[in-house]
Amino acid sequence: MSNTAQLILDGKTYELPVIEGTEHERAIDISKLRSLTGGVTTIDPGYKNTGATKSAITFLDGEKGILRYRGYSIGYSIEELAERSTFLEVAYLLIYGELPNEEQFSSWKSEITMHTMVHEEIKNILDGFPSNAHPMGVLSSLVSALTAFYPKSLDPNRSIKQVDLSIARIIAKMPTIAAWAFKNEIGHPVNYPDNTLDYCENFIKMMFATPAETYSVDPVVSDALNKLLILHADHEQNCSTSTVRIVGSSQASLYSSISAGISALWGPLHGGANQAVIEMLEGIKSSGGDTKKYLDKAKDKNDPFRLMGFGHRVYKNFDPRATIIKKAADGVLAKLGVNDPVLDIARGLEEAALKDEYFVSRKLYPNVDFYSGIIYRAMGIPTEMFTVMFTLGRLPGWIAQWKEMRENNEPIGRPRQVYTGHNSRPYMELGER
Ligand code: MLT
- Ligand 1 atom nearest the C-alpha of 239 is 9
State residue 399 phi and psi, 5-degree precision. Answer: -65, -45
Mean pLDDT of the chain: 93
Its sign, for the CA torsion 389, 390, 391, 394, is positive
Mean pLDDT of 98-109: 97
What pLDDT digit, counting tens, does each position of 190-226 carry? 999 999 999 999 999 999 999 999 999 999 899 999 9
Question: Ligand 1 centroid to 395 CA: how many Å?
Answer: 13
Q: Which segment, 252-256, 288-292, 324-328, 360-364, is predicted with the most confidence on average?
A: 252-256
- Maximal C-alpha separation, the chain: 79
Taking residue 157's Cβ as centre, other Cβ atoms within 10 Å add up to 8
312 catalytic per annotation: yes
- Ligand 1 atom nearest the C-alpha of 367 is 5
Mean pLDDT of 255-272: 95
Ligand 1, atom 8, lies closest to the CA of 238
Residue 277 has pLDDT above 60, yes or no: yes
Mean pLDDT of 274-284: 91
What pLDDT digit, counting tens, does each position of 312-347 carry? 888 888 888 888 888 888 888 888 888 888 888 988
Residue 77 has pLDDT above 80, yes or no: no
Q: pLDDT tier at 78 (50, 70, 90 boundaries)? A: very low
What pLDDT digit, counting tens, does each position of 151-192 carry? 999 999 889 999 999 999 999 999 999 999 999 999 999 999
- The pTM for the full model equals 0.94
Question: Ligand 1 centroid to 245 CA: how many Å?
Answer: 15
Among 244, 283, 280, smallest CA distance to 264 is for 244
Q: How far apart are CA 262 and CA 265, in angstroms?
A: 5
Q: How far apart are CA 172 and CA 298, in angstroms?
A: 42
270 catalytic per annotation: no
Q: Which of 312, 319, 356, 422 is catalytic?
A: 312
